[in-house]
Structure 1
Amino acid sequence: MKMPAKSPAIIRLGVSLLIFFLIPFQGFSQNLIQGAQVFELHCANCHNFKDDGIGPQLGGLKGIVDKKYLLEFINNPKALIDANVARAQDKYKKFKSYMPSFSHLDPKDLQDVIAYILEKPSPKIIGKKEKLALENPIKEGIQFSGETINLKKILKFPFTYTSQVNTRINKMTFHPISKERIISDLQGKIYVVDDKNQLSEFLDISKHFPHFTNKPGFATGLGSFAFHPLFAQNKLFYTTHTEPEIKGPSDFTYGDSLRVKLQWIITEWTMDDPSAKVLSGKSREVMRVNVIDQVHGMQEITFNPYAKPGDPDFGLLYIGLGDGGALEQRRGFIPNNPEHAWGKVLRIDPLGRNSQNGKYGIPTFNPFVGKKGLDEVFAQGFRNPNRISWLHDGRIIVSNIGQRHIESLYMLKPGKNYGWPLREGTFAIDSTMSTNTVFLLPKNDAQFGYTYPIAQFDHDEGNAIMGGFEYTGKAIPSLRGKYIFGEIVRGRVFYIPISEIKEGTQTRIRELKMQLDALPITLKELVKANKVDLRFGQDAHGEIYIITKADGMLYQIVPSK
């Protein structure tokens, strides 16, 4: 059953099947082969039959759940949870998420997948002494800073998929020449927003790639984009997008016997006119990467905005590549390998040609060049490094969406290992047990050489972190010196003072409240949905914008009147 991407980790298709933990069921016979196919296509991202994933494990349910209530839950899950159905409430408290309605699901597919699941036995319990897992790893909550930010409505994006799914606005930056705001939609479009807040289409990537795939709920589609620092001269622009299965030879693979669910592609565009508001020109493929599942893909590409010509970092493209859902597929060896690309931040020179595929360059000073590890890797140990941004002093912050417990910010440095899949934030994961449980760090932790977050919060505070920006604008002096970020699902907005960032310790996170038209408001109240899908943008003047992907709205943080 397909559902909107969590990011992170909790609100996705997977949580949908927590329905199978509901009320006693009276079994029925269906096509198990078709049910297995439906499960593999829609459910296996977040579920297995051995232990809990993003949603609960589904083994041993026969005789536990009831068809009538199950179908009611699928059609309106929030209603059953709000009605205090005991089992629904129990799982909601455990997974801390609602799932959307599945009234659109084909009734036969639903019956087939239920029949398939009900044939799976309970997982075997291995007799071993259990460690003491942490249910509430970070007891101290995020406190209100006492500061309020003011929102101004800029525009609402048009429907681009169906009348049920609005835009999937995902990233905002600005045009290097015109300084106009440039905003992308996962569904394939990139827009220009001019000074009068008028919208025009810069690129529709779906018209250029016949295999372009976009599935709401799986972070597929047009992932990211970036202008080359010399764009005005070389006219080069970069995008990432997804294609299903194997549509071309991959530059990075993890084993012929394992499935390929998607491929992520980096494309270089050479524009005919760099000042044009509509992209025209030629394109070439730079890199193609297999991923084992639809989630945790290539959601970020970016250049160092502060590097100048002659600086070693000038013109180098940073690529945030998640683990591709490898842990959900019980394939932890994929990210946990320095010679693999997944779960890493990569760094390449798109103008060079000394890579294995001859389509890009590898900086000679990348940390693993000449050592054990992939030459393209800048740093490793990430589950989903969804945003990378620079502070004015040159330091780099990367946000990493966690699994079941910890959301974190890291100071990105070459050659460092940030722990995943053996660490989540400042906590340990036992690879012999469920990856959804965390433990205190072992006493001999220093010998492993992991680097820990500069800030973190657990799922009491929010389900998925969204990286943001240092405020460098002039309109709101009180925000200067703050790195603004937030939480995707609940739509909370946070900051950390840059002056307090110190590697090796966790900076205290503060929350910013919001108001619109001089009235207190939350993003959940504005969106009127259970999942806000928060994103941040920044314009050429350093001012910060808030995007609520759930309803396609763009807001600017503005001074109080």
Structure 2
Amino acid sequence: MNKSLLPVLLVALSFFSCTKQNEIGAEISTNSEQIQLGKSLFEASCSTCHSFDQHGIGPNLSGVTHNVETNWIKNFIKDPSKVIASGDPRAVSLVEKYKTHMPSFAGLSEQELDDVLSYLHTFETLPDTIVLVGLKDPIPDSIADSGIYLEIEFFAQLPASDSKAPMAKMTKMEAERNSGRLFINDQRVGLYELINGNPNLYLPITELKPDLVSKPGWATGLASFTFHPEFDQNGTFFTSHTEPGGSQSADYGYSDTIPVFMQWVVTEWKANNPNAPVFAGSEKELLRIDIPSQAHGMQELTFNPHATKGDEDYGLLYIGFGDGGLTEKRAAYLSDSKGAKIYSSILRIDPKGTNSPNGKYGIPTSNPFAGVNGKAGEVYAYGFRNPNRIFWDRAGNMFATDIGQHSVEELNKIEPGKFYGWPIREGRFIINPHGNFRDVFELQTGDENLGITYPEIQLDHDELAAIFAGYEMPYGELKGKFIFGDILSGRLFFSDLKDLGNMQVQSWGVMFEGNIMTLREVVKNDRVDLKFGKDAQNNIYIMCKTEGKIYKIKE
């Protein structure tokens, strides 16, 4: 059973006495078969966030079983929220340090836990406890609270696709631009249409794509979708989803010295009747890409909403594609390819064309690297760890949010051919992708001459853990302001996209059922899994995967 384990599992050595170090973990099995089972489970489910030589999204786990009581580790994996809520100083310190809660994994068997611990126990080197060489607080200023609270109301509930949180893994809600029909995904199930707030399963993707995989804690499944601007006439729409590595031959991959854990697939669907309540029609695979982990994949498909017939950008599909965990796998050269590879990039393709390497789509001649020897013509802009949301403001400027590694979250203004820093920069800070890239350092004199485009907004993990963009608010007290938030905590922010070069950020909050509440309080969970959506009437919605509920921001 593959599970996403141990997002936070380490403790400062000050919690232990030296006299007990040799006793801890003595009961853990050293059976070679059990170790190998644990290794397979760890590599499949844990290695994206953890390694044994440095801290990352989660902590360095080297030596953890030699320094933390075995029962404590097991209890924390099974129900971390319970351990944290108890006030356990070890658990509390981890949350403070890594700014995130991990979900419960009560479904793991005792044998699976023992297997993982047997593998962890083969690493005896104590975790590095030396004070960080890099900046301890990259952005010391705190975000001011605006005192603004927008009222939200319950709008819709998706059917539960699991028995525990997240109850429904929705990541995108979008209206088909011509009919106004409102669609929303559940990564595990498929694509729903919301009809008067009631979900109707339009695309049962698990039936149509039986190899699809979506696990708790994995950024996988049906991650994104978008409708062609002429869907009402041609019935064409697009999805991105994941399948296990090796499911089929990939169009883009890498050396066989790097494991292939997952494949991202772009599919073009063509409905026989664009007005039908349930999809019936044909499909065509456009693109398949190998990645070595379950993270930082293809989180966004979209069209430029401002483009009209006759515009150069009309009908061209944008694809946000992260580094797939390549940097964590010590293959930063693939994500730092200067446009030679498609990883860590925003891609732009012509679904109607055929001049791509696989002949299944087109590469627009106006793309910055189209026809350039040694470059990937699909690349529109590059240097992103996880460009999870692409959007355009009312002035026609293109933006993308980019989730950082350990220190900085970004909003970038996107221009063709530009390099946005990853994996050698995180925000306006230097990182070393070949060393401990948890550390960040001040820019050196002349850095602006290296061809790096810096973010319009950068916030460190004192404020949020994973950025996700919303919209320019069309109504209410924040009318005209750009809203965004933290996926994990649900904390909400706003800025003004007209202030490019000097964007200031403030926080805002919500009122629900007459009370000022945090989104954590609304969903009754420490992990909100925040997303935003918009309907054809420009109403803005807050989506929370934890409960599978959708809330409308009232005018």
Report the TM-score, using the length of structure 1 for normalisation.
0.92
Once the two structures are superposed, residues 475-496 of structure 1 have per-residue CA deviations (whole angstroms, 9 ceiling, x without a partner) of x253332111111111012111
Aligned to 1:184: 185
Where in structure 2 are the equivalents of 1:280-299 lying within 5 Å? 280-299=280-299
Aligned to 1:470: 472
Tell me the distance in 1 between the aligned counterparts of 2:318 and 2:481.
23
Aligned to 2:114: 111
Aligned to 1:18: 10
Aligned to 2:396: 394
Which 10-residue stretch deviates more, 262-271 or 16-25? 16-25
Aligned to 1:8: none
Deviation for aligned residue 1:74: 2.6
Where in structure 2 are the equivalents of 1:323-362 lying within 5 Å? 323-337=323-337, 338-362=339-363
Q: Is the 8 A contact 1:347 1:362 kept in 2?
A: yes
Aligned equivalent of 2:95, options 73, 92, 113? 92
Tell me the distance in 1 between the aligned counterparts of 2:289 and 2:483.
31
Aligned to 2:480: 481
Where in structure 2 are the equivalents of 1:302-321 lying within 5 Å? 302-321=302-321
Aligned to 1:68: 71
Does 1:48 pair with 2:44? no
Tell me the distance in 1 between the aligned counterparts of 2:352 and 2:12.
52
Distance 1:390 1:172, change over 3 A: same
Q: CA RMSD in A?
A: 2.1
Tell me the distance in 2 between the aligned counterparts of 1:73 and 1:161.
21
Q: Is the 8 A contact 2:9 2:94 kept in 1?
A: no
Write the letter of the residue equivalent to 1:213.
V
Deviation for aligned residue 1:518: 2.5
Once the two structures are superposed, residues 37-89 of structure 1 have per-residue CA deviations (whole angstroms, 9 ceiling, x without a partner) of 12112221211111112111122335312123222323332333344444333
Deviation for aligned residue 1:144: 1.5
Does 1:136 pair with 2:140? no
Q: Is the 8 A contact 2:66 2:124 kept in 1?
A: no
Which 10-residue stretch deviates more, 85-94 or 351-360? 85-94
Deviation for aligned residue 1:123: 7.4
Distance 1:106 1:160, change over 3 A: same
Report SS of the residue matched to 1:301: strand
Distance 1:123 1:322, change over 3 A: farther
Report SS of the residue matched to 1:554: strand
Which 10-residue stretch deviates more, 486-495 or 295-304? 486-495
Deviation for aligned residue 1:342: 1.0
Where in structure 2 are the equivalents of 1:407-556 lying within 5 Å? 407-471=409-473, 473=474, 476-502=475-501, 505=502, 507-556=503-552
Report SS of the residue matched to 1:15: coil
Tell me the distance in 1 between the aligned counterparts of 2:132 and 2:79.
37
Deviation for aligned residue 1:334: 1.9
Deviation for aligned residue 1:234: 1.8
Deviation for aligned residue 1:14: 4.2
Q: Is the 8 A contact 1:160 1:167 kept in 2?
A: yes
Does 1:175 pair with 2:176? yes
Deviation for aligned residue 1:225: 0.6
Does 1:406 pair with 2:398? no
Aligned to 1:161: 162
Tell me the distance in 2 between the aligned counterparts of 1:177 and 1:156.
25
Gaps of 5+ in 1: 4-11
Report SS of the residue matched to 2:452: coil
Deviation for aligned residue 1:185: 0.8
Distance 1:263 1:26, change over 3 A: closer
Tell me the distance in 1 between the aligned counterparts of 2:451 and 2:236.
38
Q: Is the 8 A contact 1:300 1:386 kept in 2?
A: yes
Report the TM-score, using the length of structure 2 for normalisation.
0.93
Write the letter of the residue equivalent to 1:558.
K
Q: Is the 8 A contact 2:103 2:217 kept in 1?
A: no
Q: Is the 8 A contact 1:20 1:70 kept in 2?
A: no
Q: Is the 8 A contact 1:254 1:340 kept in 2?
A: no
Q: Is the 8 A contact 2:25 2:121 kept in 1?
A: no
Aligned to 1:229: 229
Aligned to 1:252: 252
Tell me the distance in 2 between the aligned counterparts of 1:131 and 1:93.
16
Report SS of the residue matched to 2:64: coil
Report SS of the residue matched to 1:423: coil
Tell me the distance in 1 between the aligned counterparts of 2:127 and 2:100.
27
Q: Is the 8 A contact 2:2 2:41 kept in 1?
A: no
Which 10-residue stretch deviates more, 290-299 or 510-519? 510-519
Write the letter of the residue equivalent to 2:77.
I
Distance 1:348 1:14, change over 3 A: farther
Once the two structures are superposed, residues 417-445 of structure 1 have per-residue CA deviations (whole angstroms, 9 ceiling, x without a partner) of 11001111111102343111111011131
Aligned to 2:105: 102
Write the letter of the residue equivalent to 1:53.
G
Once the two structures are superposed, residues 317-340 of structure 1 have per-residue CA deviations (whole angstroms, 9 ceiling, x without a partner) of 000001101122222122111211
Q: Is the 8 A contact 1:16 1:100 kept in 2?
A: no
Q: Is the 8 A contact 1:481 1:499 kept in 2?
A: no
Once the two structures are superposed, residues 171-201 of structure 1 have per-residue CA deviations (whole angstroms, 9 ceiling, x without a partner) of 000123331211111113211112x322211
Q: Is the 8 A contact 2:133 2:439 kept in 1?
A: no
Report SS of the residue matched to 1:286: strand
Once the two structures are superposed, residues 227-286 of structure 1 have per-residue CA deviations (whole angstroms, 9 ceiling, x without a partner) of 111212222111111110111121111212221111111111111111112111000111
Aligned to 1:204: 204
Identity among equivalent pairs (%): 39
Distance 1:61 1:217, change over 3 A: closer
Tell me the distance in 1 between the aligned counterparts of 2:9 and 2:250.
33
